Chains A and B, each alone.
Chain A
Amino acid sequence: MSNNQTVTFEHSIPDNLKGLVADWSSDVQTFRVRWSKAMMWIFLVSDTFIFGSFLCAYMAVRLTTIEPWPPTSEVFALHVGGADVPLLLIAIMTFILISSSGTMAMAVTSGYKKQRKKTAFLILLTALGGVAFVGMQMFEWSKLIFEEGIRPWGNPFGAAQFGGFFFMITGFHGLHVSIGVVYLSIVAKRVWEGRYDRLDDYQMVEVVGLYWHFVDLVWIFIFAFFYLW
């Protein structure tokens, strides 16, 4: 037996699965992408489990804690023009972060069109969105800490775990955004210097884009679970 697994049942495979079968039964490489892109995907799957564990832990504690959960719409409200507007700050933050995903997608497209300057500019714009997001998050944190007295170990509104989970999870996400900003800046610099023109390959822009979209997607979940629940 030489284990020559030639696909003799090819005609029985539905057309839309043929590519999948060809990829997984090929030699040398399974996915026709650069190694760094494959690695980024695998890393993101792993990172999903980190955020997933954080959010599951948060949900479990929120359901089992003995004291009532703080009234989030009041805690997160912003006092504007004499009235408390719930979700105002967070709506702006979310809008900015999602817009930065838009500019990132545009950067990837113009990268594949080999438009060097436009790509670098769009990546920098994306990074700027990230900086704005982190800056507003710092504002939000300082408001929660200094004005409303919310601490990781307790708060005046209810269950002590609220502050702990909020600062831990948004902090961990903010860390991801900050790392993303640094990462984006490095890629922008390399695009600007023409490194990917010389390689004739802009896939690294897409790789950083994957990371950025992921950070964005995670934020949607955090937004839903902390601010809307």
Chain B
Amino acid sequence: MDQNSATYEGQKMYDPKGWWDTYVFSQDHKVIALQYVCVALAIGLTGMFLSLLMRMQLGFPGLFESIDAGSYYQDVTMHGMIMVIYLLTALFLGGFGNYLIPLMLGCRDMAFPFVNMLSFWMYFLSVIILVASFFVESGPTGAGWTLYPPQSILEGTPGGDGAGIILMLASLAVFIVAFTMGGLNYITTVLQSRAKGMTLMRMPLIIWCIFLATFLGLLAFPALLVGAIMLIFDRVLETSFFMPEIFKGGEVLDYGGGSPVLFQHLFWFFGHPEVYIIALPAFGIISELISVHARKNIFGYNMMVWALIAIAGIAFIVWAHHMYVAGMNPYLGFFFATTTLIIAVPTAIKVYNWVLTLWNANIKMTVPMLYCLAFLVTFLNGGLTGLFLGNVAVDVPLSDTYFVVGHFHMVMAVSPVLALYGGLYHWYPSVTGRMLNDTLGKIHFWITFVGTYLIYFPMHYIGFLGVPRRYYSNEQYDFIPQSVADLNQFITVCALIVGAAQFILLYNFIVSLYKGAIAPKNPWGACTLEWQTLESPPGHGNWGEQLPVVYRWPYEYGLPGATSDFVPQNVPDEQIT
């Protein structure tokens, strides 16, 4: 197959004509990636706004009369769903995946550019449907982001009277279609369309991570799709897949014989791999950034790859650790606790390898590096509290307290977002050709890092006190001491500051687009291929006439005998000076 010509398996390469083709209905992977990033960040800001509404109620109960118990639950639900699925999944795989896979692997575009474009527009449609649920009668669903039946489809649940839950489930189904179309592209491209010399074990770690995360998604989202379809049927057709016999206000409803725990199994069979769908790309970004900004090869590349594969495999047999108190057979908890603790082993290998990469390295305290260090600390913290929750006996008293909220926000909310920000600062020059403002970046970093710690660390303590999560108000319970209210106020103030600080990033992005310093071609001195394009930022088709040829692994820093402290992947041995 002649990949150097502008043909693609016998088809002509996509050739944009005019403005709409180039910027809107584009099939270029770089434009699609940017579209994903912009839409995901926009909906992510919405999710952040919802979390601030929740914090206002928890910190200053009753200050805003518009936040009643119903709308509080709706905010909780939509915040969770938006952040996990529509922000992080879409941004890591749709955004970073689309941008980096073809550039880092040295090919011209994704394997199926048209399907790739459809993937974005389906995602856009799913976001529209999701947002539409805010505007229907009685608003979006307030059933909690896990959408557990029976309450998620019964009237009387906040938002349960209108079409909120239907729109939520429909939006998820559309999102899954979008993800499948994108995911097939990512996997096919990684497996079938690499540059000459790019073996699997010479791929940058982030490509491995995105590849495995996509694989997880393709195998995990089906369970959610099935759960969503059955839940829609339960609601619309009054089937009883998940619905036991239910009395409501003294009346028997038309349901009976179904199993609510079945939904939880389906949901978490998706839900736990989903944690790794988010975490693996974050791992990948950290692996790249830590190596580039510490000017040192990644420690234990092979071990990193096999650890990733192990994590991806074990991720499918740990799901019921979310269900210790759900009423499943208690003996199952023993199995799932064991697998849960086993998955800590490959994860620990990765953390040790990052730390050992820093050992004796020439660490540059750039903004991306700061985010790497922050990620390591936060992820370690969140991982250690995971050991508490993974054990059944410890989990039972901690379940559904703020300890859980603190744990998962540390490990799968703040950590991935820190990696995400690091990645955005790192690759911004590649996308726009301009550098971000360093000072603003550092201010944004310190407020975000310290701020998120101040928000989530006290939650562990609140959780130990036994304060239940998802409660609209904690005022009328005798067992909750005054210190909780004080801490909640403190957390809310921190959350407001961190929330406001995100606009520094936004401001930095927009202003640097026009006024930022012109970026040199390879500003960080990275070895990977996305910085070795002819033009910077890379043009359509990425590589000009000749596709790159790869001669070495992606972390060739400090090669003995070379004058430069890095050797790009596409430089042959005889050209090293």
> Which residues in A have some Cβ–Cβ distance to B below 8 Å?
1-5, 24-31, 34-36, 38-39, 42-43, 45-47, 49-50, 52-54, 57, 60-61, 64-67, 152-153, 159-161, 163-165, 168, 199, 201
Considering the complex, which residues of chain B in the window 221-244 have a beta carbon less than 8 Å from any beta carbon of chain A? 221-223, 225-227, 229-230, 233, 237-241
Partner of A49, one of B9, B219, B227: B219
Task: List, sorted by A's number, 29 A–B pairs whose CB atoms are closer than 8 Å.
Answer: A5-B199, A27-B196, A27-B198, A28-B194, A29-B194, A30-B192, A31-B192, A35-B188, A39-B185, A39-B188, A42-B218, A45-B219, A46-B184, A46-B218, A50-B226, A53-B226, A57-B226, A57-B230, A57-B241, A61-B241, A61-B257, A64-B259, A67-B256, A152-B237, A164-B237, A164-B239, A164-B240, A168-B229, A199-B10
A46 and B258 contacting across the interface, CB-CB below 8 Å: no
| Chain A contacts for B197, CB-based, 8 A | 27
Q: With both chains docked as a complex, state the minimum distance between the C-beta of B211 and any C-beta of chain A, in angstroms.
A: 11
| Chain A contacts for B225, CB-based, 8 A | 50, 53
**Partner-binding segment picked from B77-85, B343-351, B433-441, B549-557:** B549-557
Chain B residue nearest to A43 in the complex (CB): B184
B394 within 8 Å of A (CB atoms): no
B254 and A153 contacting across the interface, CB-CB below 8 Å: yes
Partner of B223, one of A53, A66, A163, A199: A53
Q: Which residue among B183, B196, B198, B200 has the maximum number of chain A CB atoms within 10 Å of its CB?
A: B200
In the complex with contacts A3-B301, A28-B194, A29-B194, A42-B184 CB distance below 8 A = yes
Partner of B233, one of A42, A52, A168: A168
| Chain A contacts for B192, CB-based, 8 A | 29-31, 35, 38
B262 and A27 contacting across the interface, CB-CB below 8 Å: no
B198 and A38 contacting across the interface, CB-CB below 8 Å: no
Partner of A34, one of B9, B262, B265, B550: B9
Q: Which residue among A29, A30, A42 has the maximum number of chain B CB atoms within 10 Å of its CB?
A: A42
A50 and B241 contacting across the interface, CB-CB below 8 Å: no
Q: With both chains docked as a complex, state the minimum distance between the C-beta of A168 and any C-beta of chain B, in angstroms.
A: 7
| Chain B contacts for A35, CB-based, 8 A | 9, 111-112, 188, 192-193
Chain B residue nearest to A1 in the complex (CB): B297
| Chain B contacts for A36, CB-based, 8 A | 112
Interface residues on chain B, number (Cβ under 8 Å): 57
| Chain A contacts for B222, CB-based, 8 A | 46-47, 49-50, 52-53
Q: Which 9 A-B pairs rank lowest in CB-CB distance, beginning with the nearest?
A: A3-B553, A164-B239, A49-B222, A53-B226, A50-B222, A46-B218, A29-B192, A65-B257, A30-B191
| Chain B contacts for A65, CB-based, 8 A | 257-259
A164 and B188 contacting across the interface, CB-CB below 8 Å: no
Bound-state Cα–Cα, A31 to B573, Å: 29
A39 and B111 contacting across the interface, CB-CB below 8 Å: yes
Chain B residue nearest to A34 in the complex (CB): B9
**Could you mark each residue 522-552 of chain B with 1 if its beta carbon is under 8 Å from any beta carbon of chain A, else 0?**
0000000000000000000000000000101
A153 and B193 contacting across the interface, CB-CB below 8 Å: no
B202 within 8 Å of A (CB atoms): yes
A161 and B240 contacting across the interface, CB-CB below 8 Å: yes
Q: With both chains docked as a complex, state the minimum distance between the C-beta of A139 and any C-beta of chain B, in angstroms.
A: 22
Query: Chain A's interface: helix, strand, loop or mixed, by majority?
Result: helix
B32 within 8 Å of A (CB atoms): no
| Chain A contacts for B199, CB-based, 8 A | 5, 25-27
Bound-state Cα–Cα, A28 to B549, Å: 10
Partner of B262, one of A28, A52, A57: A57
| Chain A contacts for B511, CB-based, 8 A | none
Bound-state Cα–Cα, A45 to B219, Å: 8
Chain A residue nearest to B556 in the complex (CB): A2
Bound-state Cα–Cα, A165 to B238, Å: 13
| Chain A contacts for B194, CB-based, 8 A | 27-29
Q: With both chains docked as a complex, state the minimum distance between the C-beta of A26 and any C-beta of chain B, in angstroms.
A: 7
Q: Which residue among B192, B196, B225, B227 has the maximum number of chain A CB atoms within 10 Å of its CB?
A: B192
Bound-state Cα–Cα, A4 to B198, Å: 11
| Chain A contacts for B237, CB-based, 8 A | 152-153, 164
Q: With both chains docked as a complex, state the minimum distance between the C-beta of A197 and any C-beta of chain B, in angstroms.
A: 13
B326 within 8 Å of A (CB atoms): no
| Chain A contacts for B320, CB-based, 8 A | none
B308 within 8 Å of A (CB atoms): no
Bound-state Cα–Cα, A35 to B269, Å: 29
Considering the complex, which residues of chain B in the window 248-281 have a beta carbon less than 8 Å from any beta carbon of chain A? 254, 256-259, 262, 265-266, 269
In the complex with contacts A35-B9, A42-B188, A60-B262, A160-B256 CB distance below 8 A = yes
In the complex with contacts A3-B553, A27-B197, A38-B191, A53-B266 CB distance below 8 A = yes
B187 within 8 Å of A (CB atoms): yes
A67 and B257 contacting across the interface, CB-CB below 8 Å: yes
Partner of B257, one of A25, A28, A30, A160: A160
| Chain A contacts for B227, CB-based, 8 A | 53
B198 and A28 contacting across the interface, CB-CB below 8 Å: yes
| Chain B contacts for A1, CB-based, 8 A | 297, 553
Bound-state Cα–Cα, A29 to B111, Å: 12
Q: With both chains docked as a complex, state the minimum distance between the C-beta of B181 and any C-beta of chain A, in angstroms.
A: 10
Chain A residue nearest to B301 in the complex (CB): A3
| Chain A contacts for B553, CB-based, 8 A | 1-3
B233 and A152 contacting across the interface, CB-CB below 8 Å: yes
A153 and B195 contacting across the interface, CB-CB below 8 Å: no
B200 and A160 contacting across the interface, CB-CB below 8 Å: no
Bound-state Cα–Cα, A45 to B218, Å: 8
Q: With both chains docked as a complex, state the minimum distance between the C-beta of A57 and any C-beta of chain B, in angstroms.
A: 6
Q: With both chains docked as a complex, state the minimum distance between the C-beta of A194 and any C-beta of chain B, in angstroms.
A: 15
Interface contacts beyond A2-B553, A34-B9: sample of 17 additional A-B pairs, CB < 8 Å, sorted by A: A3-B301, A27-B550, A29-B194, A35-B112, A42-B184, A57-B262, A57-B266, A60-B265, A61-B262, A66-B256, A67-B256, A153-B239, A161-B258, A163-B239, A164-B237, A168-B229, A199-B10
| Chain B contacts for A64, CB-based, 8 A | 259, 262
A2 and B552 contacting across the interface, CB-CB below 8 Å: yes
Chain B residue nearest to A55 in the complex (CB): B226
| Chain A contacts for B183, CB-based, 8 A | 46
B377 within 8 Å of A (CB atoms): no
Bound-state Cα–Cα, A31 to B193, Å: 10
Bound-state Cα–Cα, A70 to B220, Å: 32
Considering the complex, which residues of chain B in the window 168-217 have a beta carbon less than 8 Å from any beta carbon of chain A? 180, 183-185, 187-188, 191-202
Bound-state Cα–Cα, A163 to B238, Å: 12
Bound-state Cα–Cα, A88 to B198, Å: 56
